[in-house]
Amino acid sequence: MEIKNEWRQSGQPLLPVHVAEKQQQNGYNIYPLHSLEEDKIHEGYAGLAKWMTTQKLVLIDGYAGILWTVIYDALDKEFKRLHVNVLWHFTDNLYKDAVVIDELVKPFIGEPGEVWGTKTSLTLSDFFIPTTIDTDPGYDLTIVIGTGAALTNQQAAVVYLDIAKNELQYRMRAGSVTNLGSKSTTAHAEMYKRSYFVDWVILNEYKRTLLDRIYIMADAQWYDTITWITMSDLKKGIEQISRSVFRVRPWFEPGAWGGQWMKEHIAGLNKEEVNYAWSFEMIVPENGVLFESSSNILEMPFEWMMYLQHEAILGKHASIFGYEFPIRFDFLDTFDGGNLSIQCHPSLAYIREHFGETITQDETYYILDCKEDAYVYLGFQEGIDANTFRKELENSRDNNKPLEIEQYVQKHSAGKHDLFLIPNKTVHSAGANNMVLEISATPYIFTFKMYDWLRLGLDGKPRAINITHAFNNLDFSRQGAEVTKQLLSVPKVIEAGKDWQIIHLPTHEDHFYDVQRLEFDTEIVVETNGCCLVMMLVEGTAVAINGQAVYQYAETFVIPAAAGKCVISNKGKERAKVIKAFLKEEHYTFNRFHATTI
């Protein structure tokens, strides 16, 4: 398959297959590894093909975005070398007609050009013609290969190939893959929308049903090779880190308003990118977790962690959120960049009714770093007239005219370690020259832009403006002095010792998570109390958890509920400051945010 030169489109390097000799580094690490015992992760097709020869029927299943022709060519070469006679069946031949599938998914993806759809109720079997495949006595081995292979036989061994979501999107941009059941590529935005609302929903649930059937798990993000592990060994690795501490692999994207802070502070990033707007520090629907064994690296999408260990990770809140991880951390970099759009996010009722989500996008902005002239737009000016504001926004959109936004929206000076509260329905934006740690509920694509400073996106096209959605949600009572009272967190010391203190940064009553900052010179003891803790070192050099795992400045890490008591030690000379986000205790609060109640 002659696609090697254009199979992915990204300025970011591929994940290394092998651990570099000096992989451990000082400073932010873009490849955080979790080590397993020796000889648990294997590299290449030869060993995998040899294992398959011990079977009579193998189902090679996997996620969207797998380069199935490349996988087939590599395995077929190995079987010929082993003189094994294989009968191949391809699930591409078992799909319903692409036109039929397009009609199936149409109710969930909106019209072309629309930003959002609604999460699907379809299952993977809806895409296929029911087919049963069994062994053929005329061959040494029968293989079914492609997404949905496990649908063709309920008994045979399953080898599952997965891929990190960032790499999947790089393949979408290159046009080397299609959406599930589609025969053609479309614009990246349309492919992403169909993936988010259809493909990923279907395939995440499908692979969860295969948990007890999978023998081998493989990472297929490279072109020339794969790495793989037995499911039993992977389960042991996931169980281990779900009871201690872990960090997901971050990934980085440029944007219209992006800045230069991450480019200057994070080693390993491509310095040729025009900017970096986002880091997906822990937006787990799109993050993976890296494992290492015998110098081989394997990445698994984070959902496997939740399918296998959500109770250990979420503790007392597992029954509420199920397999959804409720908190996200991400960076918004506007250093020497631009302002984010003036925007808001949907109410809980609105996001459920229109988009099929279960929780909504309640955010906070924690200022990790900033320049002296940094600011945040938040809340309305006193006495705002909603109709006038809407007319001005529409005039700006329709006639490409600048808007004096400060006539309508308040502008607040930003300082390092400030916390700005952005519950759903609140007008807001981060101004230029901020490095924002966005602490939020997990949903992450439901931003209703009202004003975008008349700029173009990196593709040279105007970014979508969503005034109608915004005005269906905006809370105009958040204006004047009420903004300062409700939306600017006031820090308070709640515990202190000889060389440490815990500072509470209260969130809004609508937030189902809370925030504290742990400040200490030597060490501090942290109890999970049955809650999952999402943490980041926001000042200092490095910290160690229980004397083992070390995390550097600006790295996000998770202490699962099952970890119990942990000692966090300061590895630097200056005082360490660690942000801790966790779910609030009040059960009634959660009942408002999730369909499943305690």
Residue 447 lies in a domain: yes
Residues 188 and 147 in one domain: yes
For the chain, helix, strand, coil in percent to 5 are 25, 30, 45
Q: Which two tokens stand for residue 296?
A: 């081989």
Residue 115 lies in a domain: yes
CATH of the domain at 388: 2.60.120.10
The H or E element spanning position 527 is strand 523-527
Residues 361 and 496 in one domain: no
Q: Which domain holds residue 508?
A: 492-593
CA atoms of 326 and 504, how far apart (whole Å): 20
Residue 265 lies in a domain: no
C-alpha 292, offset from chain centre: 21
Residues 131 and 204 in one domain: yes
CA atoms of 26 and 554, how far apart (whole Å): 12
Residues 196 and 84 in one domain: yes
Residues 203 and 348 in one domain: no
CA atoms of 300 and 164, how far apart (whole Å): 7
Residues 480 and 531 in one domain: no
Listed residues 432, 465, 486: the one ending a domain: 486
Residue 20: the pLDDT is 84
Task: Write the CB contacts of 241 (distance below 8 Å, at least 6 apart in sequence).
Answer: 34, 289, 560
Residues 351 and 453 in one domain: yes
Listed residues 159, 191, 225: the one ending a domain: 225
Residue 131: the pLDDT is 97
Site of tokens 């020497």? 336
Three-state SS letters, 114-144: CCCCCCCCCCHHHHECCCCCCCCCCCCEEEE
Task: Write the CB contacts of 474 (distance below 8 Å, at least 6 apart in sequence).
Answer: 344, 386, 425, 427
Residues 394 and 541 in one domain: no
Q: Which two tokens stand for residue 300?
A: 């698994």
The number of distinct structural domains making up the chain is: 3
How far is residue 328 from each of residues 77, 281, 364, 553, 598, measured CA to CA in Å? 43, 8, 11, 18, 22
Angle in degrees, CA 472, 478, 484, rounded to 5? 155
Residues 369 and 471 in one domain: yes
Residue 137 lies in a domain: yes
User: Which is nearest to 553 in space by CA: 569, 566, 534, 538?
Assistant: 538
Residue 26: the pLDDT is 77
Residue 4 lies in a domain: no
Residues 472 and 500 in one domain: no
CA atoms of 465 and 470, how far apart (whole Å): 9
Residues 149 and 70 in one domain: yes
pLDDT tens per residue across all 598 residues of the chain: 344 568 999 999 999 999 986 555 679 999 999 999 999 999 999 999 999 999 999 999 999 999 999 999 999 999 999 999 999 999 999 999 999 999 999 999 999 989 999 999 999 999 999 999 999 999 999 999 999 999 999 999 999 999 999 999 999 999 999 999 999 998 999 999 999 999 999 999 999 999 999 999 999 999 999 999 999 999 999 999 999 999 999 999 999 999 999 999 999 999 999 999 999 999 999 999 999 999 999 999 999 999 999 999 999 999 999 999 999 999 999 999 999 999 999 999 999 999 999 999 999 999 999 999 999 999 999 999 999 999 999 999 999 999 999 999 999 999 999 999 999 999 999 999 999 999 999 999 999 999 999 999 999 999 999 999 999 999 999 999 999 999 999 999 999 999 999 999 999 999 999 999 999 999 999 999 999 999 999 999 999 999 989 999 999 999 999 999 999 999 999 999 999 999 998 644 555 555 443 3
| DSSP letter (8 states) at residue 334 | -
How far is residue 361 from each of residues 128, 293, 354, 439, measured CA to CA in Å? 35, 37, 14, 10
Taking the complete model, does pTM exceed 0.85, yes or no? yes
Cα end-to-end span (Å), the chain: 52
Listed residues 189, 209, 225: the one ending a domain: 225
Residue 319 lies in a domain: no
Residue 39 lies in a domain: no
DSSP annotation string for 231-249: HHHHHHHHHHHTTS-B-PB
DSSP annotation string for 379-412: EEPTT--HHHHHHHHHHHHHHT----GGGTEEEE
Residues 562 and 460 in one domain: no
Q: Judge whether 148 and 202 are in contact, CB under 8 Å.
A: no
CATH of the domain at 188: 3.40.50
Residue 260 lies in a domain: no
